[in-house]
Structure 1
């Protein structure tokens, strides 16, 4: 075995996330595969690089030494790849590289972009980690990134990126089984969910910390399940869990989606770009995103009712 850049990328991902599970999600591999890879690297180097603790993975002294030398190599390789791709893009026609966390606005946004820019090759990079997408924008691997920032858990913004706010405060709703007792009311109190298991995806930046903060402030200490939201949906419909969700979530016959009283959970929606770029193009990209988000918001009956109750300017707004 030889130590390669991909191995260093894996070590950096484990150190950055503090978790084999989160690092595997970021790298797009399974956790067992990453664990095996880490064991092989440690065997090759002759010592443990991370100590496995209940709170996560922490670099050992040997691990810190390897990371100090390895990070610049990974950064240089990322820069080389970004520059090569940028050069290829310049010779191969216009490109727009879009990054996004999950959003119901995404299909409408892409549809508008393709209509506005018919001669442009538009690509999409999805990631549960907003911070990972921001690093890709900073490295020149993405042109724009649409992400959410959990309230109270600010994103780590790299140098060289600029943000434009799409929605300053989007409330997060809660999804539950259709026959859940709390579903009978149009607005749900957190206290009504104190006895439920809550499910959260810990790989989404800020998601667990934000929910934990809100539950603690309400004096609630429920059992929390960790997993992705696709798995969560199958548990929610049979009454095994409840989970926070985007207010734009579409209606389902087997699931109820309700706002929380007082809107304790919220995110800020942001569009990131590099500081140096075509301002006219990015303004158009923002306008299309705003229109797509507004359409998604108004299609959700629960969210539209919330917007009406709060007199939201989104009901009659246009992109500023």
Structure 2
């Protein structure tokens, strides 16, 4: 006979009630049937599990060993069964939400919303500087959704076969130290920054063709560009060694300010992507709604920018549309 979980439940029931008769009543079995089952279990394990007399049944040393293992295995199996039942009964909801992001301004708020609405959901995040890498991970089934940005009217590569939807479109701002001569202006002409050095994070962003083209239209070629991670960029700006482009909802650290570029020469489109044949596709629209709400939430910390958006309806949160 092979030992099964039901046999371990029998052993635990006898130990907990202290009697084969009481255990049989608890398990809904006849006492002779439970006694015969206990005997088969003891033969399989090679010795008696209980000492039985008029006072009841007490575990032997072998019985204590079996009980110690059973009290670990049975709750673990129960937990596995409960978790499987929750996931199987989740309907259209995915078993997990796996997000990849490229410096996304709404990832934290999106995760917060989903975690509050679906406490049992498994949510993970992955960061990359590359839109293409995230698209490949989503296409390969290693991520469910990607939150990325593209400059101007460009769109993420279609090679991965992902569906892309626009969450928002925002004017690109510039990050300056408070001591900068132009820090007091509400907006700054890009041409007025012709003599500046710049800092940028690695990977995809506006420091490619879009930025070079915007500077050319303003009549200059940008000077030196330092490349660093986000913390390094902030340090370089703080030290006065350069200025940086940033998203409109970026919250600067103490001693730094963000300012609009006059005429919005650069625009940043926040994109949400998934693979149409993935399990996550069934809830992509619902997650997109949460992403749109997360973007709206992010505006609360930027009342001046929110007021600007109200005057410029071509920017801000977008209605879902195919790309």
TM-score range, shorter chain: 0.5 to 0.7
Is 1:212 the counterpart of 2:173? The answer is no
Question: 2: CA distance between counterparts of 1:235 and 1:298?
Answer: 28
Q: Contact conserved, 1:145 with 1:273, CA < 8 A, in 2? A: yes
Q: SS in structure 2 opposite 1:102?
A: coil
Alignment of 1:228-243 (within 5 A): 228=228, 229-243=230-244
Question: 2: CA distance between counterparts of 1:313 and 1:194?
Answer: 26
Q: Tell me the equivalent position of 2:178.
A: 178
Instruction: State TM-score, norm by structure 2.
Output: 0.65
Alignment of 1:156-305 (within 5 A): 156-167=157-168, 169-205=169-205, 207-228=207-228, 229-276=230-277, 277-305=279-307
Displacement, 1:222? 2.9
Q: Tell me the equivalent position of 1:104.
A: 105
Q: Contact conserved, 1:259 with 1:302, CA < 8 A, in 2? A: no
Moved over 4 A (4+): 89-93, 312-315, 317-320
Gapped regions of structure 2 (runs ≥ 5): 1-82, 88-94
Cα deviation code 1:260-316 (max 9, x no counterpart) = 00111112111101112455521221111111111112312342232133146858x
Cα deviation code 1:34-89 (max 9, x no counterpart) = xxxxxxxxxxxxxxxxxxxxxxxxxxxxxxxxxxxxxxxxxxxxxxxxxxxxxxx9
Question: 2: CA distance between counterparts of 1:107 and 1:287?
Answer: 15
Q: How many residues align?
A: 230
Displacement, 1:146? 0.9
- Kindly tell me: are residues 152 and 162 of structure 1, through their superposed partners in 2, closer, same or farther at Cα, counting changes over 3 Å? closer
Displacement, 1:240? 1.5
Q: Contact conserved, 2:274 with 2:280, CA < 8 A, in 1? A: no
- Kindly tell me: are residues 152 and 181 of structure 1, through their superposed partners in 2, closer, same or farther at Cα, counting changes over 3 Å? same
Larger radius of gyration: 2
- Kindly tell me: are residues 204 and 91 of structure 1, through their superposed partners in 2, closer, same or farther at Cα, counting changes over 3 Å? farther
Displacement, 1:152? 5.5
Over aligned residue pairs, what C-alpha RMSD do you find? 2.6
Displacement, 1:118? 1.9
Q: Tell me the equivalent position of 1:126.
A: 127
Q: SS in structure 2 opposite 1:289?
A: helix
Gapped regions of structure 1 (runs ≥ 5): 1-88
Instruction: State TM-score, norm by structure 1.
Output: 0.65
Question: 2: CA distance between counterparts of 1:140 and 1:92?
Answer: 22
Question: 2: CA distance between counterparts of 1:104 and 1:216?
Answer: 28
Cα deviation code 1:111-152 (max 9, x no counterpart) = 111122222211111111111101111111111111101226
